[in-house]
């Protein structure tokens, strides 16, 4: 679920996980990714960067009719911010592409962490029950996702509604010899029992970490599956005494409840690769006693505050809420902003980058309006090189499909679309006198249809969007007014000072 890494060690692993630099820690035996098993099933035609192998692998799913996808969801203790939004929007775009371009029927499960240290702490501060707080911010999160046009998962599953199943999952891990309970009522995963198999994502085994003097772990690197109850905290009865689940076991149980021992796609922010996803893999593979539980792990890069080498997060007090952002810009502008970089890369939030995304969207809407005006006979142009436009349209379709099949290269796809618009605009040259020759409305109709289809596929609407320039009707023809820079821009986005002041 959405959390920051708890140790400096974990943070230093992230560049290595994305193939951006060396990591730290003790290497596991064998080449990383060497043990990955290419699954059998339906080849989607996409090559995707798989964090398990650090390379682009053919995306082969168990079934095109039922592609399984687990997404880490929120820990619901506060408002979601743009850092969260960036990850969810990026994966929503990928989900739409897989569904509408490559024909996968995706079953997506998202877990909701509605019991957690942060929830309990915040509830005490607000003098309400943890359950009430979690319910409030779960609904808030869902409203934010709807406002961003993120498709809901097939099903949400809450941790508190699956405690018996989590307990059974822990019992299975203990029975298979990979976890142990203590006299204090805690249950830990025995990391040494995993041996060289731990580290599939990060390629390292964790080094020793400092533990409090009263720790009841056998080894410092073991992690909690069940936490003994503390005074004044919510708890559930279990074979080991009253308590509540650890963080990592929640996702393993929830995913397994729906998909069993095999998962096609697992997604989340890159900060979840270690330790969260690494521990999920360990738990699921020892519970199901399988060689490979998740076939593809997809990780999104952080949203950074421009000019600073830090991600946008609540802990760093540099964030802006989704609700505040949407007071200034539309969800379509934010979606195009996300598409202009690889989903795996870090992306800078800034006024200029948001305004550039808005400018491109408005330029697209303007072209579509002009092309429609030409089709109606309301825009007088010189002779159209119809053969050139048909060739450019065919080239664009091939380029977009190839880009999307190459690890969902949305920047490449957007560039191809904008190049098509450039060529279309060159043909729509206004003339001051009467019509300049035979008309070619069909080719512009095909271009408009394809452009709208592309943006609809990724969740962006061009309808009812104010174009860059307005038009006035003169004698049955449309002539553009002079376009002035900045005349149609919305107000500036919230700046970095305002981002910092947005912290509660």
Residue 309's pLDDT is what? 63
Residue 307's pLDDT is what? 60
Q: Which contacts (CB < 8 Å, 24+ apart) does range 125-132 have?
A: 130/234, 131/160, 131/234
CA–CA distance, 359 with 363 (Å, rounded to integer): 6
What would the two tokens of residue 450 be? Answer: 């394809």
CA–CA distance, 471 with 484 (Å, rounded to integer): 14
Burial 413-427 (b: 16+ CB within 10 A, else e): bbebbeebbebbeeb
CB-based contact 295:113 (threshold 8 Å): no
CA–CA distance, 345 with 365 (Å, rounded to integer): 28
- Stretches where the chain sits below pLDDT 70 are 1-34, 204-213, 306-318, 431-437, 464-504
The distance of Cα 393 from the centroid of its chain, to the nearest Å, equals: 30
CB-based contact 50:36 (threshold 8 Å): yes
* Those residues with Cβ within 8 angstroms of residue 433's Cβ, 6 or more apart along the chain or in another chain: 380
* Residue that has been written with the tokens 């699954």 in this structure: 39
Q: What is the DSSP string of 147-187?
A: HTTPPPPSEEEEGGG-HHHHHHHHHHHHHTTSEEE-TTS-E
The maximal CA–CA distance of the chain, rounded, in angstroms, is 92
HSE-CB for 25 with a 13 A CA cutoff:
26
What would the two tokens of residue 328 be? Answer: 């200034």
Residue 274's pLDDT is what? 94
What would the two tokens of residue 81 be? Answer: 């911010």
* Those residues with Cβ within 8 angstroms of residue 260's Cβ, 6 or more apart along the chain or in another chain: 288
CB-based contact 305:496 (threshold 8 Å): yes
Give CA angle at 20 (309, 248), nearest 5°: 80
Element (H, E) at 23: none
Residue 416's pLDDT is what? 98
Residue 438's pLDDT is what? 75
> Phi and psi for 191 in degrees, rounded to 5?
-65, -30
pLDDT digits (tens, 9 = 90+) for 79-103: 999 999 999 999 999 999 999 999 9
Report helix, strand or coil for 403.
helix
Residue 488's pLDDT is what? 37
């Amino acid at each position: 679920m959405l959390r920051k890494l708890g140790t400096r060690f974990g943070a230093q692993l992230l560049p290595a996980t994305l193939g951006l630099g060396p990591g730290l820690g003790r290497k596991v035996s064998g080449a990383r990714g060497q043990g990955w098993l290419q699954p059998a099933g339906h080849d989607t035609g996409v090559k995707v960067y798989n964090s398990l192998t650090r390379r682009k692998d053919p995306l082969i799913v168990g079934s095109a009719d039922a592609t399984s996808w687990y997404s880490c969801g929120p820990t619901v203790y506060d408002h979601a911010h743009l850092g969260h939004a960036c990850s969810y929007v990026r994966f929503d775009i990928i989900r739409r592409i897989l569904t509408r371009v490559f024909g996968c029927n995706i079953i997506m499960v998202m877990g909701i962490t509605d019991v957690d240290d942060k929830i309990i702490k915040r509830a005490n501060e607000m003098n309400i029950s943890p359950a009430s707080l979690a319910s409030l911010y779960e609904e808030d999160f869902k409203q934010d996702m709807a406002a961003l046009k993120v498709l809901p998962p097939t099903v949400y599953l809450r941790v508190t509604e699956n405690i018996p199943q989590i307990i059974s999952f822990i019992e299975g891990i203990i029975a298979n010899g990979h976890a142990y309970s203590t006299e204090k009522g805690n249950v830990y995963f025995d990391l040494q029992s995993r041996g060289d198999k731990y580290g599939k994502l990060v390629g390292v085994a964790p080094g020793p970490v400092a533990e409090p003097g009263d720790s009841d772990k056998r080894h410092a690197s073991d992690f909690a599956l069940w936490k003994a109850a503390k005074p004044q905290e919510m708890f559930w009865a279990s074979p080991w005494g009253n308590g509540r689940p650890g963080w990592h076991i929640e996702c393993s149980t929830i995913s397994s409840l729906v998909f069993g021992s095999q998962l096609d796609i697992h997604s989340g922010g890159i900060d979840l690769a270690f330790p969260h996803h690494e521990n999920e893999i360990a738990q699921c593979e020892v519970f199901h006693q399988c060689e490979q539980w998740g076939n593809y792990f997809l990780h999104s890069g952080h949203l950074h505050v421009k000019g600073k080498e830090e991600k946008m997060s609540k802990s760093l007090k540099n964030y802006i809420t989704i609700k505040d952002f949407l007071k200034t810009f539309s969800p379509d502008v934010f979606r195009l902003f996300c598409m202009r970089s690889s989903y795996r890369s870090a992306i800078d939030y800034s006024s200029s980058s948001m305004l550039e995304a808005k400018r491109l969207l408005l330029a697209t809407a303007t072209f579509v309006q002009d092309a429609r005006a030409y089709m109606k006979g309301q825009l007088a142009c010189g002779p159209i090189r119809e053969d050139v436009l048909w060739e450019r349209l065919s080239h664009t379709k091939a380029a977009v499909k190839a880009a999307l099949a190459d690890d969902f290269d949305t920047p490449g796809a957007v560039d191809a679309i904008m190049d098509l618009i450039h060529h279309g605009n060159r043909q729509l040259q206004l003339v001051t006198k009467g019509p300049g020759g035979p008309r070619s409305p069909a080719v512009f109709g095909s271009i408009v249809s394809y452009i709208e289809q592309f943006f609809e596929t990724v969740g962006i609407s061009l309808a009812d969007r104010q174009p860059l320039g307005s038009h006035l009707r003169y004698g049955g023809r449309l002539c553009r007014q002079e376009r002035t820079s900045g005349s149609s821009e919305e107000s500036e986005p919230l700046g970095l000072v305002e981002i910092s002041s947005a912290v509660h």
